[in-house]
């Protein structure tokens, strides 16, 4: 290794051509990283006591002969961010360099192979980066490159840095002719140059250098595994294109939310498929834990030995994605799968069923899964579930979630937004409010009374006004008035059964408080108008959609509750059991 490891001044690499392989991600340095490099070099230049050299982090390369004039090109395995940043600095200083130095202003070339045809684009973009006036949004690489150039320009101008002095330190050459001993100028900038042997496997070196480092994600390492085993350029281009297509679709929150309920924090969502596949692979690796951020990479690295194994594994990635798409496109599959995964079932079980069954059997499996999720204890029926029992309350929430999902599915003109569902904490809202005896603070009581005043008749309005004028509200008087109001706007029977409950986000639920039915209805409409996600079943309840021949719009009565319960049973007949009849 020592024979391949040495120090090179920046001036020694100006005549070289560098190639960034496609398995590496593009240029990603942000403004802070660029400024840190500039400030480190400036600090070194201004330190009169420092007579040595400023050393950049290693540049690891593999020399490769090209077909043109036996010229060498250097494949960059590590250090492309520093090389590109230094190139952009030199481009910004090119005019000053033409004045100070007489070497024609040559700068090494940087060629990216990140995407189809983009290597030529990146080469031309960097070549003409002096013309950049603002951040370029054509692609992510150009965005960071243009941002780096603007950062460099702003830094030099705002700090009033002397370009000549900066260049002198950056580009001074080594003297090698004093009694055969190499002597450096007092100050210059160098890189640690490590050139790997031609027989070393590039991906192995790349992996050793990058595992455990923040810049490279698990997905980027896996992409390198695939691309390095595929020798044909068209195969690489096709894989990169398919990779981008899969990632683009998975970044759609609506698409991703119906297959995954967890709070997925990885930036690259294709890793969701990699994790599923890694669990499929019957490979044991000592001390490898499933929660390792490189779990799937280690599994894939063990599995991929050649082009055939790489192609096999990539086909399995595409299989998962193809199934996801088919499930997403089908309205029934989408809603049932979304409900099932958002109740904790791993999508792998669903994919296996899809691949191993015909359509009828697969649909029956999905229905079986919904029944398993909403399964009640022995001798329990939907009507007997009670909100005050914790287990029953959980079951009611699942049943009403399913009711809203299936109701949306049956409407067939829009889809249940599982992405919005995931963002909320859901709770059960009483349609006809619970008794207000729990409200003890006078301030809260008066807020409730003022809300009720908007809906009650004259006799109750008078009583409310009298109570609002009291300096202190008596407990018994308040409770009696509330009982009178509650009886007028709802049947005070079975307050905690499913026919008096609806699903609502916890924040929106708190906004309704203990309001009477007509007040809750208006607040639901207001929340819906401002963009809150109100499930279709909840909206329908407060609009009395399930009730026939509505005569009392202001009251939630026994007939309304019966109609609501019948709608739940009818809608969910195929998904939680047989229809219940009184």
- Alpha carbon distance, N-terminus to C-terminus of the chain: 84
Q: Where are the beta strands (DSSP E) in 474-571?
A: 501-505
Would you kindly state where each structural domain of the chain is located, as residue ranges? 5-203, 217-373, 382-432+490-576
- Judged by DSSP in three states, 110 sits in strand
pLDDT of residue 3: 45
Taking only the tens place, the pLDDT of each residue in 402-432 is 999 999 999 988 899 999 999 888 989 888 7
Q: H/E/C letters for each residue in 70-102?
A: CCEEEEEEECHHHHHHHHHHHHHCHHHHHHHCC
**Euclidean distance between CA atoms 430 and 407, whole angstroms:** 20
**Mean pLDDT in the chain?**
83
Q: Quote the tokens at residue 519.
A: 């007040």
Q: How far apart are CA 538 and CA 533, in angstroms?
A: 10
User: Which among 369, 330, 329, 331 has a CA at the least distance from the CA of 349?
Assistant: 369
Q: Write out residues in the chain with pLDDT < 70, as ranges.
A: 1-5, 49-52, 67-70, 101-104, 114-120, 174-186, 203-204, 206-217, 286-287, 434-440, 447-448, 451, 454-455, 485-486, 488-494, 510-514, 577-582
- Provide the pLDDT for residue 264: 87
Q: What is the predicted pLDDT for the residue at 489?
A: 65
Instruction: Specify which residues 7 forms β-bridges with.
Output: 192
> For residue 1, what pLDDT is reported?
36
pLDDT at 213: 47
Residue-wise over 183-209: b if at least 16 C-beta within 10 A, else e? Answer: ebeebbbbbebbbbeeeeebbebbbeb
pLDDT digits (tens, 9 = 90+) for 274-329: 999 999 998 877 667 787 777 888 889 888 888 899 999 999 999 999 999 999 99
DSSP assignments along 1-20, one per residue: -TTTEEEEEGGGGTT-EEEE
pLDDT tens, 135-189?
888 888 899 999 999 999 999 999 999 998 898 888 887 665 445 555 544 578 8
**What's residue 214's pLDDT?**
39
Buried b (16+ CB within 10 A) or exposed e, 57-92: ebbbbbeeeeeeeeeebbbbbbbbbbbbbbbbbbbb
Write down the pLDDT at residue 2: 36
């Amino acid at each position: 290794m020592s024979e391949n490891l040495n120090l090179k001044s920046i001036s020694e690499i100006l005549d070289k051509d560098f190639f960034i392989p496609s398995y590496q991600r593009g240029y990603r340095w942000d403004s802070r990283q660029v400024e840190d490099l500039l400030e480190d070099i400036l600090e070194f230049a201004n330190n009169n006591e420092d007579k040595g050299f400023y050393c950049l982090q290693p540049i690891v390369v593999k020399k490769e002969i090209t077909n043109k004039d036996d010229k060498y090109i250097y494949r960059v395995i590590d250090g492309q961010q520093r090389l590109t940043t230094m190139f952009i600095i030199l481009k910004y200083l090119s005019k000053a360099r033409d004045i100070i130095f007489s070497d024609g202003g040559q700068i090494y070339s940087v060629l990216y192979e990140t995407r189809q045809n983009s290597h030529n684009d990146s080469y031309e973009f960097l070549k003409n980066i002096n013309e950049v006036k603002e951040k370029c949004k054509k692609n992510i690489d150009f965005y960071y490159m243009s941002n780096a150039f603007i950062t460099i320009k702003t830094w030099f101008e705002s700090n009033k840095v002397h370009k000549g002095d900066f260049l002198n330190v950056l580009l001074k050459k080594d003297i090698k002719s004093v009694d055969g001993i190499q002597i450096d100028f007092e100050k210059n900038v160098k890189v640690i140059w490590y050139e790997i042997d031609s027989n070393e496997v590039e991906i192995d070196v790349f992996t050793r250098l990058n595992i455990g480092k923040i810049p490279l994600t698990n997905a980027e390492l896996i992409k390198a595994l695939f691309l390095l085993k595929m020798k044909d350029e068209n195969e690489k281009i096709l894989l990169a294109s398919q990779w981008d297509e899969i990632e683009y679709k998975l970044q759609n929150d609506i698409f991703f939310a119906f297959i995954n309920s967890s709070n997925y924090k990885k930036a690259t969502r294709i890793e969701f498929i990699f994790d599923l596949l890694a669990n499929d692979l019957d490979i044991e690796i000592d001390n490898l834990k499933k929660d390792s951020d490189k779990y799937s990479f280690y599994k894939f690295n063990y599995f991929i030995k050649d082009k055939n194994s790489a192609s096999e594994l990539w086909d399995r990635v595409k299989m998962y994605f193809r199934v996801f798409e088919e499930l997403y496109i089908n309205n029934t599959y989408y809603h049932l799968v979304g409900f099932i995964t958002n109740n904790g079932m791993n999508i792998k079980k669903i994919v296996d069923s899809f691949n191993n069954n015909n359509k009828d059997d697969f649909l029956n499996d999905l229905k079986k899964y919904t029944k398993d999720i909403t399964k009640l204890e022995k001798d329990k029926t939907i009507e007997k579930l009670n909100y005050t029992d914790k287990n029953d309350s959980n079951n009611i929430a699942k049943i009403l979630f399913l009711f809203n999902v299936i109701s949306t599915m049956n409407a067939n003109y829009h889809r249940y937004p599982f992405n919005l569902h995931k963002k909320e904490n859901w709770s059960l809202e009483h349609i006809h409010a619970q008794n207000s005896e729990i409200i003890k603070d006078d301030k809260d009581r008066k807020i409730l009374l003022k809300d009720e005043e908007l809906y009650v008749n004259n006799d109750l309005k008078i009583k409310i006004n009298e109570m609002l004028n009291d300096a202190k509200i008596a407990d018994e008087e308040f409770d009696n008035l509330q009982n009178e109001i509650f009886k007028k706007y709802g049947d005070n029977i079975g307050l905690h059964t499913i026919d008096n409950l609806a699903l609502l986000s916890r924040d929106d639920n708190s906004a309704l408080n203990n309001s009477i039915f007509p007040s809750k209805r208006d607040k639901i409409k207001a929340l819906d108008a401002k963009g809150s996600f109100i499930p279709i079943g909840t909206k329908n309840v407060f609009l009395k959609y399930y009730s026939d021949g509505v005569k009392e719009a202001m009251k939630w009565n026994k007939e309304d509750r019966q109609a609501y319960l019948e709608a739940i049973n009818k809608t969910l007949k195929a998904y939680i059991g047989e229809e219940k009849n009184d």
